[in-house]
Amino acid sequence: MVKPTSSPPIIGKLHTFPTHEVKQVRERLVGWYDDNKRQLPWRTIAATEPDRNIRAYGVWVSEIMLQQTQVNTVKSYFEKWMCKWPTVSDLAKATLEEVNQMWAGLGYYSRARRLHEGAIKIVQELDGEFPDDRDSLMKQLPGVGRYSGSAVASIALGHCVGVVDGNVNRVLARVKGVGADISNQSTSEHFWTLADQLVDPDRPGDFNQAMMELGATVCTPKTPNCESCPLRPHCVAFHRNSAQKRSSIATHFKQSDKKASQESTNIPDLECLPTCDFCLRKEDWDESLGVLNYPRKAQKTKSREEVCAVVIMNCENGKMFLVQRPKAGLLANLWEFPSIPLVAGDKTSRKEEERVVREDLKEKYGLTSTQTDSITYSADVVHIFSHIHQTYRVYQVSLADSKGLTWPDRYQGSQWMDKTEFLASATSTAMKKVLKAADPSEQNDKGKKKKAESRDSPLETKKQKTISQFFSASGCTNWDEV
């Protein structure tokens, strides 16, 4: 009989922690963390700062920064941030422009905006006091969901709540042999239940950080180091893989190998219910993957193709024309070169495309025919957003001055910037790539590459005199990400 899809899943005991195992896992994990944890600035604040508001603020900032960015990148941003705005009230006094500038290079700018909004709310509506528990943090602070709320509540405020992020998902899926799709709501809920059950009431913050640290440094996505893992005695994935390797399992859920049996004293039985929805079935086990059979990956949705022309308007005084994106949506509030949407997959010739760009510049930006006559194509730049495969066709146009220039209503405003100002402004990584691709000296330095970037399309790159002269005039050659 087929189960109705709304029925709760059947979860066998293999995928839960009995009480005695909870205690062992806590001891092993926290002990391992004490010996192996990385020294990170937000951990120092959480461990040593006596003021609860500063602890909560530091952990909140770090957790939001870490949401889509690697630890090593976050470290320097976090230190600069805390130096400039050491308390939540300091952040509340900053302008959004300043906050975006500080965030430049981290991407996903909505995170910065929400931190700023949250700080203002704490100061104006909550008397400068951080909410005290997970639910209040989630309710009161924009951008704080179950994960961030739990992290701040446990790490900074000592509340006994578990956390589940991508690292914890992976560790739990392997340790408890969960073969159900991790993007399913029921799988996610099960992991939250396990995390809340496991968290050590004596050291909730350290326990949660230990789980995440283990996933980040030992139980990694592609190269888990099971030999040095404190949870190996409990790990279903490890024992199943060992048993499979020795080809001593009679059936998928029957462990008959004595050696494996001795090793897995904490896993008395790999047997599960025949009807269990969380087991990885025998036919789905890929021997070549070993423990990487867990977690089961969700099928990726195909990203959308988008193409637009971006036009770098160079003025003779060495400045470029930038427009500010709308307050909401993708890359909200960031500065960019004027962009003109094109049709993805269109086989229009370059000549026809240039005509479309010229017309748009005349109609929406007030350029004259003489000005648009100087337009030249530079390169294609591809940038991958989480759900968009974006191609920028980079054009340049030279202007004697900025007289008569306008911009479409969808933008908030415009500004002329030189290269240094542009790099210091709140702009996206994609726009920096665009400017970089338009610089012929960059192309020459890199062995006269035909591609503007490694992921760019193979269209030929033309040299652009104007922008080259402008760059050398500015004296700035540092193209590193800000």
Q: Which does 91 bind (CB under 5 to 8 A by kind): Zn ion, ligand SF4, none?
A: none
Q: Which does 279 bind (CB under 5 to 8 A by kind): Zn ion, ligand SF4, none?
A: Zn ion
Given a contact cutoff of 8 angstroms between Cβ atoms, the answer to whether 199 and 162 are in contact is yes
Query: In which element (H, E) is residue 433 found?
Result: helix 429-437
Q: Based on CB atoms, which residue is closest to ligand SF4, 29 or 361?
A: 29
C-alpha distances in Å from residue 260, one per residue of 174, 176, 241: 17, 17, 10
- Please state the closest distance from residue 21 (CB atom) to ligand SF4, in A: 14
For 431, residues 6+ apart whose C-beta sits below 8 A from its C-beta are 310, 334, 335, 336, 337
Taking each helix axis from N to C end, the angle separating 41-48 and 71-84, rounded to the nearest 10 degrees, works out to 60
Q: Based on CB atoms, which residue is closest to ligand SF4, 209 or 396?
A: 209
Q: Which stretch binds Zn ion (CB under 5 A): 5-13, 328-336, 414-422, 439-447?
A: 5-13
Q: Based on CB atoms, which residue is closest to ligand SF4, 268 or 329?
A: 268
Give the integer Cα–Cα distance in Å for 88 and 134: 18
* The residue to which tokens 């726009």 are assigned: 431
Give the integer Cα–Cα distance in Å for 179 and 123: 45
Candidate list 9, 12, 105, 318; residue touching Zn ion; CB under 5 A: 12
Q: Does 279 bind Zn ion (CB under 5 A)?
A: yes
- Please state the closest distance from residue 231 (CB atom) to ligand SF4, in A: 5
Q: Based on CB atoms, which residue is closest to ligand SF4, 119 or 229?
A: 229
Query: In which element (H, E) is residue 341 found?
Result: strand 339-342
Contact positions with Zn ion (CB under 5 A) in 196-235? none
- Please state the closest distance from residue 189 (CB atom) to ligand SF4, in A: 21
C-alpha distances in Å from residue 237, one per residue of 47, 232, 245, 294: 33, 9, 12, 7
- Please state the closest distance from residue 238 (CB atom) to ligand SF4, in A: 4
Query: Does residue 27 have an active-site annotation?
Result: no
The secondary structure of the chain in percent helix, strand, coil, rounded to multiples of 5, reads 45, 10, 40
Q: Based on CB atoms, which residue is closest to ligand SF4, 25 or 430?
A: 25
Q: Which stretch binds Zn ion (CB under 5 A): 62-70, 184-192, 274-282, 386-394?
A: 274-282
Query: In which element (H, E) is residue 323 found?
Result: strand 320-324
At 414, the amino acid letter reads: S
Q: Which does 272 bind (CB under 5 to 8 A by kind): Zn ion, ligand SF4, none?
A: Zn ion
Q: Based on CB atoms, which residue is closest to ligand SF4, 77 or 238?
A: 238
Q: Does 120 bind Zn ion (CB under 5 A)?
A: no
Which listed residue (21, 49, 63, 354) is catalytic? 63
Give the integer Cα–Cα distance in Å for 434 and 430: 6
- Please state the closest distance from residue 20 (CB atom) to Zn ion, in A: 20
- Please state the closest distance from residue 219 (CB atom) to ligand SF4, in A: 3
CA proximity to 96, closest of 79, 82, 114, 80: 114
Residues that bind ligand SF4 (CB under 6 A): 171, 174-175, 218-219, 224, 226, 229, 231-232, 235, 237-238, 291
Give the integer Cα–Cα distance in Å for 59 and 152: 6
Q: Which stretch binds Zn ion (CB under 5 A): 53-61, 278-286, 322-330, 458-466?
A: 278-286
- What residue ranges bind Zn ion (CB under 5 A)? 12, 14, 272, 276, 278-279
Residues annotated as catalytic are: 63
